Amino acid sequence: MTQPLVAIRSVSKNFGEFQALKQVSLDVYPGEVLCLIGASGSGKTTLLRCINQLISIDSGGIWVDGELLGLRERDGRLHRLTSREIARQRLKTGMVFQRFNLFPHKTALENITEGPVQVQGRNGNEARAEAMELLRRVGLEAKADAYPSQLSGGQQQRVAIARALAMKPMLMLFDEPTSALDPELVGEVLSVMKGLARSGMTMLVVTHELGFAREVADRVVYMDHGAIVESGRTADVLGAPREARTQAFLSAVI
Amino acid sequence: MRMAETLAEGFPDLSQMTVARQPHWRRWLAAAGILVILAAVGRAFAGGQIEWSYVGRFLTAKVILEGIINTMVMAVLAMAFGIALGVAVAIMRLSPNPVLKSVAAGYTWLFRGTPLILQLLLWFNLALVFPTIGIPGLWSLRAVDVMTPFLSALLGLGINQGAYTSEVIRAGMLSVDAGQYEAAQAIGMGRLRALRRIILPQAMRVVIPPLGNEFIGLVKATSLASVIQYPEVLHNAENIYYANSRVIELLIVAGLWYLLVVSILTPLQMLLERRFARGYLQAAR
């Protein structure tokens, strides 16, 4: 059996009194597409943000590519990593946000080249050529010089996907990537994500699009109140859920 | 339910009619009233004891021109100093480090809490506190030689300006969506790089109008440096009227120059605003 790309063990996170994550454990294997579903407030977005260390966890551990996130073991004790080391660890994961978060003062192309040039120190011309290739891949080569305010929501999200891919991550995290979109724009973003899944990218997707999950996901994880209630092969979880809570959620959504 | 093809009667077609102009008679009345007042004030000044020929003569006098140049040099340098300090202090103020945070808050408290003219006098008279400045045993200078009117004014105005500017910059940084910082982190940026590349350029758009305000205020605040002998335009105008007693005429000369400078600054600010509005033009208007 291959090693999991992401291993999550007994992760808990509280926001004050609110328990956002309770003892969550999960493995994600290379090349796998895993969809996290559940009601809002169930902890799926929190889990995703912990994997990208936008939130620090209270207890437990997360390993990406065999490397423990945010902590180092030395002399039998755990020490926090510096912010520089955390920034380096983040390069293994790409993140796509619900509200796109494109840089509004930069063109589509500049949004994509910003990370490779500024953070990875890549050559500008090379980075621009690769960014154009990525824009072609998401169907927006004609919009290279457009500012985010000149793009539709769906186009912005596709640029945001290209921006994350430009860092050549091993893992892509999607935080409800279509929730902020007008219904007619959802399809274009999902089709880019499907193409990415076919290309073998490991993907962890928080979504309400059960149709997308059914079509693309290898596994589905259902979360409720900060815990994983049920996980398994897509057809099993969505087609024949074992847990009563999963059944209730699915019948409410469909 | 009625079908849409047959529209109800009684709603005539208005597309061929024009809308009549409203008679704004109250506006005309107000304008006439203001003109009368202006005429009265103008007449009073024309007949008052002002020798307008002196105003014309001294408007372009060499000492006055030197003064306005000194005013501008000081305003630009102090503003540059103030912005540099302000950005650094705003970043410190928003840092997670409690030491940096308190230092920044203390600085703002101290320099906003005391009058500018008092700070200028303190810098100028620093020699009373520290007769010599330097590294003990290595080199030292007499403070009176170092603390020239120019340097005292620059330090006084710049450091005071920094305290105000830091709050303006901080407001600008707070106005940037938190998602921008997260997106910058997600592509591997550290805090300082994210601030420099992503947050501050977006903050600038919001910050320029109040910063323009601050700069106009600073241009006029340089006149306070006249009390520490910095030869800016008001100081030079005063020196002239000490000699020829044409007080009002020379104050008018200085006033006209301030007005002119401020009038030039406004379009410059518009240009800067446009520069930093890249990417926003469609969204904002």
The C-alpha torsion from B244 through B249 and B251 to B252, rounded to 10°, is -160
Radius of gyration of chain A (CA): 18
Q: For residue B208, what are the contacts with CB-CB under 8 A and spacing of at least 6?
A: B269, B272, B273, B276
Phi, psi torsion values for B124, nearest 5 degrees: -65, -30
The dihedral through the CA atoms of A135, A140, A144, A147 has a sign that is: negative
Give the model's pLDDT for residue B145. Answer: 83
CB distance B63 to B240 below 8 Å: yes
CB distance A75 to A110 below 8 Å: no
B49 touches chain A (CB under 8 A): no
DSSP H or E run through A102? none
A120 touches chain B (CB under 8 A): yes
Give the model's pLDDT for residue B285. Answer: 37
Nearest CA to CA, how far is A65 from chain B (Å)?
17
Residues of chain A with C-beta less than 8 angstroms from the C-beta of B175: none
User: Scanning every residue of chain A, which has its alpha carbon at the shortest distance from the alpha carbon of B285?
Assistant: A149
Residues of chain A with C-beta less than 8 angstroms from the C-beta of B280: 104-105, 147, 149
Q: Do A101 and B197 touch (CB under 8 A)?
A: no
Is pLDDT above 90 for B159? yes
CB pairs under 8 A between A and B: 79
Is pLDDT above 90 for B146? no
A136 touches chain B (CB under 8 A): no
Q: How far apart are CA A97 and CA A42, in angstroms?
A: 18
Residues of chain B with C-beta less than 8 angstroms from the C-beta of A101: 177, 179-180, 182-183
Of B179, B201, B279, nearest to A101 by CB-CB distance is B179
Mean pLDDT of A231-240: 94
Pick from A156, A159, A160, A188: which is nearest to A173 by CA? A160
B189 touches chain A (CB under 8 A): yes
Q: How far apart are CA A206 and CA A175, in angstroms?
A: 5
Is pLDDT above 50 for B283? no
Give the model's pLDDT for residue B130. Answer: 85
Give the model's pLDDT for residue B21. Answer: 86
Residues of chain B with C-beta less than 8 angstroms from the C-beta of A97: 179, 182-183, 186
Which tokens is A107 given?
């063109």
CB distance B194 to B184 below 8 Å: yes
Q: How far apart are CA B32 and CA B30, in angstroms?
A: 5
Mean pLDDT of A18-42: 95
Which tokens is B152 given?
């005292």
Q: How far apart are CA B236 and CA A104, in angstroms?
A: 48
Q: How far apart are CA B191 and CA A104, in angstroms?
A: 19
Q: Look up residue A41 and give its amino acid.
A: G
Phi, psi torsion values for A60, nearest 5 degrees: 95, -165
Give the model's pLDDT for residue B274. Answer: 86
